[in-house]
Amino acid sequence: MEIRTTTPTDPASPTPAREIRRLNATAAEHDGIEPFSEQFLLGLDDRGDRGHRHVTARDGAGVLIGAAAYDGSTAELVVTPDHRRNGVGTALLRALADTYGADTVWAHGNLPVAVSWCRGRGLEPVRELLVMAIDGAPLIAAADVVGRDGFQILDLADSRRRYGAEAVDAEWLRVNNEAFSWHPEQGGWDAGQLSRAQNTGWFDPRGVMLLWSGGDDADAGNRLPELAGFHWTKWHGTEEKGRKLGEVYVVGLADDYRGKGLGGPLIGSGLEHLVDSGADEVILYVEANNTAAVSAYQRLGFGVCERHVAYGFPNPETEGVSR
């Protein structure tokens, strides 16, 4: 077995993105869930701006049998089903740990085989991400938006046209960083990160709802009002079994507008957009320890349908990955 570290920008040893995507699809068909998340798949093609690092494993014939990625905070890995329980996953994680210092790995779906593998190497749960879903009558009810006096909702395209893209994006960035100052991936962004996050095949400025303070008169003379919050939606399209799927991708409120009952109208505006686009089911991701948000989504009719768990070393003095 050959273990090799790769990067997208290294001409001598580039990341084999196409092969890793095929491996990811094979594992997903076997396990019922993709081992690589969207951000890690995007990182296969970056040109250094995302900072992802990769490790691959090949058999004696040079066939790719495993791959792992590290984004500077957490790792993800995949091993082809017919090469599992042979030390491939351990070798991949050890290479990431030794080369880049990776010590936390995601188990998407928290499948029993992944739980057993993580615990067998001394890894314990350090973070849990829930996937919640809503459909049917509860979705239609939650998408019934009730306006709030003193505020108006415009999508990103209309907002940029009215106030200018640079000014609008600066407000969007400010609110994002206020809302997610605590978040390891979503917080502390700069303008470049906001721009890169929009550089996907599914991004639609009509699907980003911005809640502006001041109501319909806020833009008198086209002066930029203050942004109270945003709801960034994602359209997945028609999935397996014919469902039309949308996502509450990111929702954030500025510091000065929390606790004022604005979350409901903001979430509802995005759900309304997704329902109008044809969605019959909407999902979202939320940190399991964000109990206030989980409870709020449950009151709207969302229920937990998947769990994703990050495993790491509980003792900061623990080093390496056990064999």
Question: Could you give the CA distance from residue 293 to residue 103 in angstroms, rounded to a whole number?
Answer: 28
In order, the DSSP letters of 229-285 are: EEEEEEEEEE-GGG-EEEEEEEEEE-GGGTTSS-HHHHHHHHHHHHHHTT-SEEEEE
Question: Is 240 labeled as ligand-binding?
Answer: no
Question: Is 289 labeled as ligand-binding?
Answer: no
Question: Is 252 labeled as ligand-binding?
Answer: yes
208-213 and 2-6 beta bridge pairing: unpaired
Question: Is 234 labeled as ligand-binding?
Answer: yes
Distances, alpha carbon 105 to alpha carbons 21, 36, 95, 102, 155, in Å: 19, 11, 13, 8, 36
Question: Is 19 labeled as ligand-binding?
Answer: no
Question: Is 78 labeled as ligand-binding?
Answer: yes
Question: Is 253 labeled as ligand-binding?
Answer: yes
Residue with tokens 């890793």: 20
Question: Is 297 labeled as ligand-binding?
Answer: no
Question: Is 126 labeled as ligand-binding?
Answer: no
206 and 213 Cβ atoms separated by less than 8 Å = no
Question: Is 185 labeled as ligand-binding?
Answer: yes
Question: Is 88 labeled as ligand-binding?
Answer: yes
Question: Could you give the CA distance from residue 263 to residue 252 in angstroms, rounded to a whole number?
Answer: 8
Binding-site residues for acetyl-CoA, please? 77-79, 85-90, 251-253
Binding-site residues, please? 38, 77-79, 85-90, 185, 234, 247, 251-253, 285
